[in-house]
Amino acid sequence: MRHLISIADLGRDEVEGLLESAARLARTDERLPALRGKLVLSLFFEPSTRTSSSFELAAKRLSADVMSLKASGSSVDKGESLKDTVLTLTQYAPAAIVVRHPHIGAPELVARHSGAAVVNAGDGKRQHPTQALLDLFTIRESLGRLEGLHVAIVGDVLHSRVARSLVQALGLVGARTTLVGPPTLLPRGIEALGCETSTEIGAIADADVVYVLRMQRERMESAFVPSLREYAARWGVTPERLRPGQKVMHPGPINRGVEIDGRVADSPDSLILEQVRAGLAVRMAVLQELLAARPALEVVA
């Protein structure tokens, strides 16, 4: 594995291998020497709490040097392009660049202009592969398996890189997915990824896991639902719509009272905070896999 840009870059064996090494890493909170002397650069051109903090901590736990740049407050605010930002920071010879960007394909551009291993931390609505891996990890830790499970993903699928990555990842490990939401938020032809769709919230009834998505208003150019109140009334995940024992997940940030009822988020069947913990172990596993065996990189001019 040279880069991790899309779940499509991975085979089932690689996914299983990453989950195994994440499970080993989750058992210790010691600092490990694996990436000593290597620089991990984190470039976030969109807001982030969980993804950026866990990548940063993951790199530190593996003894890497870490440098984090957020678009706001950097020269990106002065109009510097992604290409020039990457050419500039590449002079410090990073071994890995973790990048989140609103444009689809930004990770490929970073890979073209640096010799580093690139990890996609979310590009537009396309892919967010480490989120999908940490979700698989969380499901397996909680339910003991992945193969044969049924996961219902509910909400704004249209604008969700999380949904696209997760459907592919669940398909790789033999789980079944149903996408549920208003017709305007279910992309046409998405079944080609190997999932079913439904516009009825009742379709979550027989799922082992109900995976809730945020309304991603920052990516909406027009009104896709009449109002958030109406959305909550028809598709919001409430205690009344769940069976006891059904697990609930959400990548965060959650909007209580919109896509998820606060009582659901705080219930014992919610795995939302387990997902955060899994993010650290899985991102350590990914960085280790990409970098541990790599020779030092030459600087790209």
**Residues annotated as part of the active site:** 50-51, 78, 100, 128
Q: Does 120 bind ligand NCD (CB under 6 A)?
A: no
Continuous segment of H or E residues that includes residue 70: strand 65-70
Q: How far is the CB of 166 from ligand NCD (least distance, A)?
A: 11
Residue closer to ligand NCD (CB basis): 94 or 251: 251
Instruction: Show Cβ contacts of residue 89 under 8 Å, excluding neighbours closer than 6 positions.
Output: 41, 43, 67, 69, 97, 114
Task: For residue 172, give the amino acid letter.
Answer: L
Residue number of the CB closest to ligand NCD reads: 214
Instruction: Show Cβ contacts of residue 284 under 8 Å, excluding neighbours closer than 6 positions.
Output: 22, 25, 58, 61, 62
Alpha-helical (H) ranges within 41-95 are 50-61, 82-89
Q: How far is the CB of 131 from ligand NCD (least distance, A)?
A: 5
Choosing from 34, 50, 63, 196, the residue that interacts with ligand NCD (CB under 6 A) is 50
The Cα–Cα gap between 11 and 215 comes to 30
The Cα–Cα gap between 110 and 84 comes to 10
Residue closer to ligand NCD (CB basis): 90 or 165: 165
Residue closer to ligand NCD (CB basis): 127 or 288: 127
Q: Does 251 bind ligand NCD (CB under 6 A)?
A: yes
Choosing from 214, 231, 237, 285, the residue that interacts with ligand NCD (CB under 6 A) is 214
Q: How far is the CB of 278 from ligand NCD (least distance, A)?
A: 12
Query: Which residue in this structure is represented by tokens 């697990």?
Result: 247
Q: Are 120 and 6 in contact (CB under 8 A)?
A: yes
Q: Does 252 bind ligand NCD (CB under 6 A)?
A: yes
CA angle 38-92-101, nearest 5°?
A: 90
Q: How far is the CB of 52 from ligand NCD (least distance, A)?
A: 9
Q: How far is the CB of 282 from ligand NCD (least distance, A)?
A: 12
Q: Does 122 bind ligand NCD (CB under 6 A)?
A: yes
Interface with ligand NCD: number of residues (CB under 6 A)? 11
Interaction residues for ligand NCD, span 131-190 (CB under 6 A): 131, 161-162
Residue 216's nearest CA partner among 154, 278, 160 is: 160
The Cα–Cα gap between 257 and 153 comes to 18
Q: How far is the CB of 46 from ligand NCD (least distance, A)?
A: 7
Residue closer to ligand NCD (CB basis): 47 or 226: 47
What 3-state DSSP class applies to 118? Answer: strand
Residue closer to ligand NCD (CB basis): 90 or 275: 275
Alpha-helical (H) ranges within 173-209 are none
Residue closer to ligand NCD (CB basis): 134 or 297: 134
CA angle 127-9-211, nearest 5°?
A: 40
Binding site for ligand NCD (CB under 6 A): 50-51, 122, 128, 131, 161-162, 214, 216, 251-252
